[in-house]
């Protein structure tokens, strides 16, 4: 089990797994969760500023979360996610993109109200085959501290 004390700052990790986005993936996700016409229909998408079918932002976040789970070596003493900040979609995710995840702990602190817990902030970046960041977000996570350190 990895506890708060086992987490180190500024050590980027990259997913070994990748995810290749298909038109069917984009359409199926959008049909259920974000039914904007340019996510559902290639012809309509041609007239969008992107000029072709592209995934919704929340779809790219879901892909990133899935890939981030492939990067965990051990069980983490995670209690809960506390929130997301700085969510950005600088480049659209399109059919045929091959995505991988980069994650790095950029900050950590002991909880002021519950000293048996710590809070980590991770910067997560979903990157395409051209090394472009397509989705980026920070997640605050509440973790247990190692019992004998408290």
Could you tell me the domains of the chain? 4-149 (3.10.129.10)
**Euclidean distance between CA atoms 52 and 150, whole angstroms:** 54
pLDDT digits (tens, 9 = 90+) for 9-28: 999 999 999 999 999 999 99
Half-sphere exposure of 58 (CA within 13 A, CB side): 11
pLDDT(99) > 70? yes
Mean pLDDT for 88-111 is: 97
Sort residue 96 into left (φ over 0), alpha (ψ -120 to 50) or beta. left
Mean pLDDT for 79-105 is: 97
| Furthest-apart CA atoms within the chain: distance in Å | 61
**Euclidean distance between CA atoms 122 and 141, whole angstroms:** 8
DSSP 45-75: HTTSSS-S-B--HHHHHHHHHHHHHTT--S-
pLDDT at position 150: 60
Q: Give the alpha-carbon dihedral of 53, 129, 126, 29, to 10 degrees.
A: 30
**Euclidean distance between CA atoms 103 and 107, whole angstroms:** 12
pLDDT at position 130: 98
**Euclidean distance between CA atoms 4 and 37, whole angstroms:** 44
pLDDT digits (tens, 9 = 90+) for 130-147: 999 999 999 999 999 998
**Euclidean distance between CA atoms 115 and 37, whole angstroms:** 49
Mean pLDDT for 32-57 is: 97
Structure tokens at 17: 């797994």
Mean pLDDT for 101-129 is: 96
pLDDT at position 128: 98
Average pLDDT of the chain to the nearest whole number:
95
């Amino acid at each position: 089990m990895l506890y708060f004390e086992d987490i180190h700052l500024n050590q980027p990790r990259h997913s070994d797994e990748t995810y290749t986005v298909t038109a069917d993936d984009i359409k199926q996700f959008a049909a259920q969760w974000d039914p904007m016409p340019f996510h559902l229909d290639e012809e309509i998408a041609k007239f969008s500023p992107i000029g072709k079918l592209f995934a919704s932002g929340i779809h790219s976040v879901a892909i990133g979360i899935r890939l981030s789970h492939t990067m965990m070596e051990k069980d983490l003493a995670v209690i809960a996610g506390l929130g997301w900040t700085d969510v950005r979609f600088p480049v659209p995710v399109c059919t045929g993109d091959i995505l991988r995840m980069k994650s790095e702990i950029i900050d950590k602190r002991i909880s002021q109200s519950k000293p048996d817990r710590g809070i980590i902030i991770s910067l997560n970046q979903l990157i395409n085959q051209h090394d472009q960041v397509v989705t980026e977000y920070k997640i605050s996570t509440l973790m247990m501290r190692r019992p004998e350190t408290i």
